[in-house]
Amino acid sequence: MRTIAVLNQKGGVGKTTTVVNVAAALADRGLRVLAIDLDPQAHLTVHLGVDAEQKDCGIYKVLAGSTSIEEAVVQVRPNLRLLGAGIDLVGAEAELVGEVGREIILRQALEPVKDKFDYVLIDCPPSLGLLTLNALSASTEVVIPIQPHFLALQGFSRLLQTVSLVQSRINPALRVSAILMCMFDARTSLSTEVREDIEKFLSGARNQNSPWAGAQIIPVHVRRNIKLAEAPSYGKTIFEYEPGCHGATDYLAVAEFIHTGKICGAFEQKKTQESAAENVTEPATQDTTESISS
Ligand SMILES: Nc1ncnc2c1ncn2[C@@H]1O[C@H](COP(=O)(O)OP(=O)(O)O)[C@@H](O)[C@H]1O
Ligand SMILES: [Mg+2]
């Protein structure tokens, strides 16, 4: 099971959009995916078409210790399950402050379902508080979406410092695997400049013993695409809303890169093959196509 925290303490950089569409692309390819909404704004929950007011679907109860993950997840698509957020998550950080081991509640809760998922994708809140610490303690990887605009890297070192602290104190396996450029506009020099700044920073870290020493910029940039901004209000992923748009193409490639470490159109090929003949299994996903019982 790969557990990926999608993290940036800035809001509006593309975290939720990334979790929804990468989760959907992986699940479409037969991988068993759990998406976790750790943001009290519950955008991920709503984006996947689930009512955030629904009381019995929730991360809150899991963190409060009153239910297990198995009971709290809902199946939202084939192979895709959601541990949703609701308004009750707003008070969770304050309530958990007095708990012993408060940073590792999510990690412990995930332990029993480890073999049931290939991927757990965690949509983090726009802060570095206790909910984010739970995400980092439970994860093996961090993916950082960045919106390349003025001050894009402000707060970046604090983010990395937080990852570093969690790695040294709680979760030695944690590493930053990738940076994803979201809402990229190749026409502006700013987008390119931000990318170059990050590249410079990462190449300076290569030989260090830091959790981001092996991080790379995902070689697909998610272009600014209005369809990606429209899809959430319909409760649809980009593949359901407008499968032919740039946003769908970009997120398919991002998911392929996350899964295979390269981009050679394997995810797209599968789609074509599937329409020609059903039950074709993509080699990259051969070992992991079995879905958990609902
Ligand atoms: N590539 C994109 N092009 C256009 N709009 C986007 C893109 N990615 C995200 N958006 C929109 O930008 C807003 C912020 O994205 P979101 O994923 O919610 O960010 P975060 O979760 O980091 O706050 C949302 O309204 C979303 O629909
Ligand atoms: Mg969000």
**46-55, 139-148, 206-215: segment of lowest average pLDDT:** 46-55
Residue type, 109: A
Q: Is residue 290 part of a domain?
A: no
Establish if 293 belongs to a structural domain.
Answer: no
The answer to the question of residue 291 being in a domain is no
- The count of domains in the chain is 1
In a domain, 162, yes or no: yes
Residue range 137-155: mean pLDDT, rounded = 93
**What is the number of the ligand 1 atom nearest to the C-alpha of 231?**
27
User: Domain of 163: which CATH number?
Assistant: 3.40.50.300
- CB within 8 Å of 73: residues ≥ 6 apart: 34, 57, 81, 82, 83
- Beta carbon of 245 within 6 Å of any ligand 1 atom: no
Parallel, antiparallel, or unpaired: how do β-strands 33-37 and 74-77 relate? unpaired
Q: Residue 134 is encoded by which pair of tokens?
A: 């739970």
In a domain, 292, yes or no: no
Cβ neighbour number for residue 41 with a 10 Å cutoff: 18
* pTM score: 0.92
Question: Which is it for strands 74-77 and 80-83: parallel, antiparallel or unpaired?
Answer: antiparallel
Q: Does 157 map to a domain? A: yes
| pLDDT at 269 (0 to 100) | 55
Please give the pLDDT value at position 109. Answer: 97
What the block records as the tokens of 34 is: 């759990």
Q: Which of 75, 77, 80, 74 shows the shortest CA–CA distance to 59?
A: 74
Residue 278: phi, psi to the nearest 5?
A: -70, 165
Average pLDDT over residues 239-261: 98
Whether the pLDDT of residue 271 is over 90: the answer is no
The pick from 7, 8, 9, 17 for probing ligand 1's pocket by mutation, whose C-beta has the most ligand atoms within 8 angstroms, reads 17
Phi-psi region of 42 (alpha: psi -120 to 50; beta: other; left: phi over 0): left
Residue nearest atom 9 in ligand 1 by C-alpha distance: 14
Ligand 1 atom with the smallest distance to the CA of 20 is 17
pLDDT of residue 207: 83
Is 28 buried (19+), middle (13-18) or exposed (0-12) by CB count in 10 A?
buried
At 12, give phi and psi (nearest 5°): 75, 20
Measured N-to-C along each axis, helices 156-169 and 130-138 cross at an angle, to the nearest 10 degrees, of 60
Q: Would you say residue 126 lies in a domain?
A: yes
Q: Cα separation of 235 and 245, whole Å?
A: 17
* Ligand 2 center from residue 16 Cα (angstroms): 4
The C-alpha atoms of residue 121 and residue 16 are separated, in whole angstroms, by: 10
Evaluate whether residue 173 is within a structural domain: yes
For 53, the domain range is 2-284
